Amino acid sequence: MSKIYKRVNPVMPASIQAAAYADTEILFDWHKIDARKVSSISGLQCIVRGTNGADQTMVGIDLFFATSHIPTPNDGVNVSVDVVPTTLGTTGAAVDTPGWFNNLCGHVSIAASDFNDGDLIYLNVATKSGLDIPVNGDLYVAAVAKGALDFRTTVQVNEANFAAGTQTVITLDTKDATLLFAPGDVIHAVDDAVLGTIKTVDSATQITLTKANVDAIEDDDVLYNVSPITLILSCESWGG
């Protein structure tokens, strides 16, 4: 076997990020991972963006892994059930929906003390090793907060209202964009209108997108990176 790495960017809606998360609330529901050729997950890094450009006072995060492949006793008819895990519930609220019990295949508890201190200024990173999460079928990950996490921003669009598909260069104000955004970030307005993917952060007040904005955007729309939590999975590969 050989080792490969998977970068996972679950989507957390901008409209939900507009309020701080609390203990027991779902940070992101089941997110499918590209687990082709992967036999197990042996470690991970969890990167958590800050609050309006500054690192957070970190709390714990519970990660749950689920599979689409549910083994069953051989009854002469079925040897497995293949089904996507049902939702945990509404993002930004406590778990309230059952049905995913037999899909579960792993749990990683990341404690507040696992994260680095404030040296990186804008974000925090935790590393977990020695894991053994099996991969058999499609793999999914979800996360629940173990305390207050806050991804709110104040950066705003500083443009006259513009229609979908009209601009790649976007002028901003209120907050220095270089403190919050980076190339590759997918940006939505607080009403979940899709701005697009950042190609470059040109200055404190300007970003350039990889292509023209997807949805119509209004002046003073507050903007969010919809993947403020990134997972980098260390995976054992079947090889080939």
Q: What is the token pair recorded at 65?
A: 């892994």
Report the pLDDT value the prediction gives residue 54, as an integer from 0 to 100.
96
Chain segment 178-206, per-residue pLDDT in tens: 999 999 999 999 999 999 999 999 999 99
| More confident: 139 or 35 | 139
CA distances, 114 to each of 20, 25, 75, 181, 187 (Å) = 21, 20, 45, 24, 28
Report the pLDDT value the prediction gives residue 42, as an integer from 0 to 100.
95
Q: What percent of the chain has pLDDT over 70?
A: 96
pTM for this model (two decimals) = 0.94
Chain segment 140-169, per-residue pLDDT in tens: 999 999 999 999 999 999 999 999 999 999
Is the pLDDT at 1 greater than 70? The verdict is no
Chain segment 46-81, per-residue pLDDT in tens: 999 999 999 999 999 999 999 998 877 777 776 678
Q: Which residues contact 240 (CB under 8 A, 6 or more apart)?
A: 37
Mean pLDDT estimate for the chain: 95
Report the pLDDT value the prediction gives residue 240, as an integer from 0 to 100.
46
